[in-house]
Structure 1
Amino acid sequence: MNRYIKTAIYYAILGLATGVFYREFTKFNGVDGETSLAFIHVHTLILGMIFFLILSLFEDKFHISTFKSFKVFNIFYNVGLMTTIGIFLVRGITEVLESNISRGLDKALSGIAGLGHISLSIGLITMLLILNKASKKLNNQTQKI
């Protein structure tokens, strides 16, 4: 359970830092409109901090970290989330600075963002399968009593 809370703290710090970066970077560059930077703060806090705080509750009840596929979840989810956050950061900075990026670079960023979302999806699906197995296991144990 402690590992989830530590991970939640990490994502909370990252989420708050990116929120400050968004506000200050856009203000410094005189940008009033919304950019991709605006999404980093919310994504990091919800998909990072809130998600792992909820997982700490599931760990207490279901011991989800004991499942073999938990390592798959942990790797895919965190890599996917960090990739997504990274691409939001790159896209947002280029928007604020009004950089003219090539069509190829634009497509490459979109492709990497897609891979990040796929990785995040694999992690989420894996966690849902773990929770399904854990609840069935708990139901079987309570029925035997």
Structure 2
Amino acid sequence: MNDYTAWTTLSVVHTHYFILGMMFFLILGLISMNMNLKINRAVLFYNIGLNLTAIMLIVRGILQVLDLNVISALISGIASIGHIILGVSLILILLDIKKACIK
């Protein structure tokens, strides 16, 4: 498409979704088999942060391929909000795991 052969962020979207989406939840599932975890709120935040981050990766990649001059600070800002939500949710999940270990 558009004879674009250089590297774009589109090439890392699948890897991010695979690791952060599937592998993380497989590991979390294995952990929760042995514990009584209550992580519904944290998982909701995690999914919101993951999808927001992935959408911004896709948007940035499409803009790179189409060679559009758009304000990338806006895209970076929204992507950083997604990363912050991911980080907060990971902390909540780890605190829930710690709480389950103490019980």
TM-score of the pair, normalised by structure 1 = 0.67
Whole-angstrom CA distance in 2 between matches of 1:87 and 1:74: 20
Q: Which has the larger radius of gyration?
A: 1
Percent of aligned pairs sharing the same letter: 42
Q: Please identify runs of 4+ aligned residues in structure 1 that moved more than 4 A.
A: none
Question: Secondary structure of 1:29's partner?
Answer: coil
Match of 1:98 among 45, 54, 67: 67
Q: Equivalent residue for 1:86?
A: 55
- Count of residues in correspondence between the two structures: 103
Whether 1:71 and 2:40 are equivalent positions in the alignment is yes
Tell me the equivalent position of 2:24: 51
Deviations 1:55-113 (A, max 9, x none): 1111211121xx3xx23211210000000000000000000111111xxx322111111
> Are 1:118 and 2:84 counterparts?
yes
Tell me, in whole angstroms, the C-alpha distance in 2 between the residues paired with 1:51 and 1:83.
17
Any stretches of 5+ residues in structure 1 without a counterpart? 1-27, 138-145
Q: Distance in 1 between matches of 2:95 and 2:3?
A: 46
| Gapped regions of structure 2 (runs ≥ 5) | none
TM-score (ref. length: structure 2): 0.92
Q: Distance in 1 between matches of 2:85 and 2:54?
A: 13
RMSD between superposed Cα atoms in Å? 1.1
Aligned equivalent of 1:131: 97
Higher RCO (CA 8 Å, separation ≥ 6 residues): 2
